[in-house]
Amino acid sequence: MHKIQKPYLLFLGDANREYGAKTAQGVLHWVPDQCVGQFRLPGCEIDLGIADMDFEEAYAAGGRTVLLGVANRGGVLPDHWVPHLIKAVKAGFDVAAGLHVRLNDLTCLKAAADKQGRTLHDVRHWSGGPMPLGTGRKRSGHRALIVGTDCAVGKKFTALAVHQALVEKGVDATFRPTGQTGALISGYGCALDTIPGDFISGVAEALSPDNDPDHWDVIEGQATVLHPTFAAVTIGLVHGSQPDAMIVSHDLGRTEMRGLPGRVLPTLLDTIDAHERAARVNNPKARCVAISVNTSAVDEDAAQTALAEIEQMTGLPSTDPIRFGADILAKAILDTMEPHNE
Amino acid sequence: MHKIQKPYLLFLGDANREYGAKTAQGVLHWVPDQCVGQFRLPGCEIDLGIADMDFEEAYAAGGRTVLLGVANRGGVLPDHWVPHLIKAVKAGFDVAAGLHVRLNDLTCLKAAADKQGRTLHDVRHWSGGPMPLGTGRKRSGHRALIVGTDCAVGKKFTALAVHQALVEKGVDATFRPTGQTGALISGYGCALDTIPGDFISGVAEALSPDNDPDHWDVIEGQATVLHPTFAAVTIGLVHGSQPDAMIVSHDLGRTEMRGLPGRVLPTLLDTIDAHERAARVNNPKARCVAISVNTSAVDEDAAQTALAEIEQMTGLPSTDPIRFGADILAKAILDTMEPHNE
């Protein structure tokens, strides 16, 4: 499991508008106090609105890891960025990236990092010895897992917002990422989607280890067990997380599964049923406790109406954490541990 | 997907009795006419009971691929076997192995193979360009998938026996392996257990492509969707195979899951229900049609009694294909395509 030193210097290179900056924006949004500045080369068309710094300035400002915050289609690293990353390593930085290509495969960069005793974190790839096999053994502490009706319906946002709401209520809670952006936000974890099938549940188990009896892990979800492409990752994650509580993420504006034209989105009731059945393989008490709905497709009045309808249909508290905050979701999780609900 | 030239010369090296010879024995059992002989070094303690040959003799006898048929704990290849494999390549052979280590990573062997234009098949590892993503698109032809209550309950045996029974009935059928031994028996395929989670259903789809309307693929199963360790592989396989019919493999002598002390084996009814639910994500008509029971733990009378009880409980035809043949299972598969059952 990667353990990444913060704070970050966000590396944008000379990325043009064709590049995606989701990773940099996500990290800046969720941990702004852990981003000392941005590093840009001449011609860069992206601006995160934070201080431009070179490596020496950023190191002096406390920065410890250069984070590759942009990606082009294909997840390839431009050759002419490598000398700059080598300079970063020589200035004392670790480097972290969530690309398909591995920093550790770039011979010159790797040699420089080894010489300086620095670490290159490829968070899409497993690090830390042999991958573990799942056992299903009951672990101490509590776990909430975000599940959903599809990919990209707001699971990461929901997990982060619920984690924040729990912490604000004074609950001892940890956000557990399962994708590259989440891992870079938290500085801990590993993207699950590149793990071989035999080891997915084992890596998921390792991600939320034994903890204090009152501690909550809030675990980012992936896809859905009803997904024709990605369900293998989901079920390994559901089994390995052994959640006490699940929150179902849903996008009000979506009728077909993303990237699968003609494929009808699973219903919320089918999604709840399928995930409860999967989770009960390792925890007979597992249940879905709330619905997190992305209502951005409609105005606020229509959103309230839709949420009321979803509450009626599912019997579960429902809200849009972006529009109305995550308190209702955090409360639903904590309620699962009330004696009358056990 | 690997396509391996047959027949084989079975390479046993100087394996002692600590080695497992399951792969060599499995290949010899199922395709004896595709095994020209065995290659043994002085000190070898394993004997498959077929002709000993050197590479020149085996090539002259028609052999085209040297198959590494034994494995030590850890799946490591002894260094002193490599020069012999290089000799094999120089004699005109491809080499195939189902080890965790890759033949293609052995620099000297790889160089020799490239020079001779020979292929090294690492059937535990994907070969053939970018891995495909599953789509759930309905494919032509029929598919039967073997599922089960646990790992190592006889899925591969059942798949091979059912395939053989179908062929004997004049049905156009193909055995589709999903593990290394199966891939070496059939000379086609890829072990699913090392495929990253995102691609398992896609590789499973590629394994049983569009076919003639009356053709049956009989697909080897893996683990169970109720397995706390390996369900990710299973669900990707169930989704990607989009089976019309499933046969449930079960071991009468087993009460706990293999390698998971204290973990009660799922019931047959729960196993049927869980696999039908998973398969219906891509094929609403998917159903379990028969039970394949390993009854080796009891005598023949007790086996008959147990099979009758299982038929009563599940409402499905049940037999032990080792003891009583696979005809009942093959018939149950074909019956799914009778108009009154559709």
pLDDT digits (tens, 9 = 90+) for A300-329: 999 999 999 999 999 999 999 999 999 999
Three-state SS at B266: coil
Assigned token pair, A157: 């946002």
- B244 closest CA partner among B125, B326, B334, B308: B334
- pLDDT (mean) for B216-226: 98
B107-116 vs B82-90: helix crossing angle, rounded to 10: 0
Nearest to B144 by CA among B268, B286, B278, B316: B286
SS3 label, residue B337: coil
Q: What share of chain B is helix, strand, coil (3-state, %, to 5)?
A: 40, 20, 40
Nearest chain A Cα distance for residue B219, angstroms: 18
> Predicted confidence band at A284 (pLDDT cuts at 50, 70, 90)?
very high
Average pLDDT over residues A114-128: 93
Residue of A263, A256, A55, A153 lying closest to B239 (CA atoms): A263
Residues A240-274 have pLDDT tens digits of 999 999 999 999 999 999 999 999 999 999 999 99
The pLDDT of residue B342: 46
Pairs across A and B, CB distance < 8 A: 106
**Maximal CA-CA distance, chain A:** 62
Query: Are the CB atoms for B166 and B337 separated by under 8 Å?
Result: no
Does the distance separating the beta carbons of A200 and B135 come in below 8 Å? no
Q: Is the peptide bond before B243 cis (omega within 30 degrees of 0)?
A: no
- Of all helices (H) and strands (E), which one includes residue B36? strand B35-40
Average pLDDT of span B189-194: 89
Residue of B nearest to A222 (CA): B198
**A233 touching B, CB under 8 A?**
yes
Helical spans, DSSP H, in B187-298: 200-207, 231-241, 268-279
Element at A153 (helix H, strand E) = none
d(CA B291, CA B311) in angstroms, rounded, equals: 8
- Cis amide bond preceding A7, omega within 30: yes
Rg, chain A, Cα only: 20
- What is the DSSP code (8-state) at residue A267? P
A284–chain B Cβ distance below 8 A for any pair: no
pLDDT tens by residue, B62-89: 999 999 999 887 778 999 999 999 999 9
- Give B192's DSSP letter: G
pLDDT of residue B340: 54
Helices within chain A (DSSP H only): 22-30, 55-60, 82-90, 107-116, 155-168, 180-186, 200-207, 231-241, 268-279, 300-314, 321-324, 327-335
How far is A59 from chain B, CA to nearest CA, in Å?
A: 37
Residue with tokens 């992206």: A46
Is the confidence at residue B339, as pLDDT, over 70? no
Run of H or E residues at A94:
strand A94-97
Alpha helices by DSSP H, B12-154: 22-30, 55-60, 82-90, 107-116
Task: Flag whether residue B231 sits within 8 Å of chain A, measured between CB atoms.
Answer: yes
Torsion of CA A296, A298, A300, A301, to 10 degrees: -160
What global pTM score does this model have? 0.93
Across the interface, of A134, A193, A197, the residue whose CB is closest to B228 is A134
User: Which of B219, B243, B242, B221 has the alpha carbon at shortest distance from B230?
Assistant: B221
User: What is the layout of strands, in order, in the sheet containing B318-319?
Assistant: B173-176, B216-219, B142-148, B245-251, B287-294, B318-319
Whole-number pLDDT of residue A342: 46
CA gap A73, B94 in Å, rounded: 37
Angle between helices A268-279 and B268-279 (to 10 degrees): 140
Distance from CA of B261 to the nearest CA of A (A): 10
Q: Tell me if residue A229 falls in helix, strand or coil.
A: coil
Mean pLDDT of A131-136: 95
C-beta of residue B3 within 8 angstroms of C-beta of residue B27: no
**Complex-level ipTM:** 0.91
Cβ atoms < 10 Å from Cβ of A19: 20
Residues in A touching B225 (Cβ below 8 Å): 235
- Nearest by CB to residue A230, choosing from B198, B229, B277, is B198
What's the mean pLDDT in A332-341?
Answer: 80
Closest CA relative to residue B290, chosen from B137, B165, B185, B138: B165
* AA identity, residue B165: A
Band (B101; pLDDT cuts 50, 70, 90): confident
Q: In the Cβ-directed half-sphere of B199, how many Cα atoms lie within 13 Å?
A: 19
Count of positions (residues) in chain A = 342
Binary contact (B231, A233; C-beta < 8 A): no
pLDDT over 70 at B341, yes or no: no
Interface contact flag, A192 B193, Cβ < 8 Å: no
Nearest to B198 among A134, A193, A274 (CB): A193
DSSP three-state, residue B160: helix
> Taking CB atoms and an 8 Å limit, are A226 and B281 in contact across chains?
yes
Q: pLDDT digit string (tens) for B270-297?
A: 999 999 999 999 999 999 999 999 999 9
> Given CB atoms, is B260 within the 8 Å cutoff of chain A?
yes
A254 exposure class (CB count in 10 Å sphere: 0-12, 13-18, 19+): middle
Tell whether A232 lies on the interface with B, counting CB pairs under 8 A. yes
Decide which of A18 and A271 is more confident: A271
Contacts of B281 in chain A (CB under 8 A): 226, 228, 231
Token pair recorded at residue B306: 């147990």
Give the per-residue pLDDT at B168: 97
pLDDT tier for residue B337 given thresholds of 50, 70 and 90: confident
State the average pLDDT for chain A. Answer: 95
Distance in angstroms (rounded) separating the CA atoms of residues A235 and A285: 17
In this prediction, residue B244 has a pLDDT band, given cuts at 50, 70 and 90, of: very high
| CB-neighbour burial class of residue A278 (10 A; exposed 0-12, middle 13-18, buried 19+) | buried
Instruction: Check if B228 contacts A (Cβ < 8 Å).
Output: yes
Token pair belonging to B205: 């789809």
Cβ <8 Å between A282 and B196: no
Mean pLDDT over residues B297-309, rounded?
Answer: 97
Nearest residue of chain A to residue B273 (CA atoms): A277
CA distance A328 to chain B (A): 31
Name the residue type at position B135. Answer: T
In this prediction, residue A256 carries a pLDDT of 96
CA distance B249 to B87: 42
**Residue A340 confidence class, pLDDT cut points 50, 70, 90:** low
Q: Which of A135, A136, A200 sits opposite B197 (nearest CB)?
A: A200
Taking CA atoms, what residue in B is nearest to A194? Answer: B196
**Separation CA B210–CA B199 (nearest Å):** 19
Q: Which two tokens stand for residue A298?
A: 């409609």
Note the helical H segments in A51-154: 55-60, 82-90, 107-116
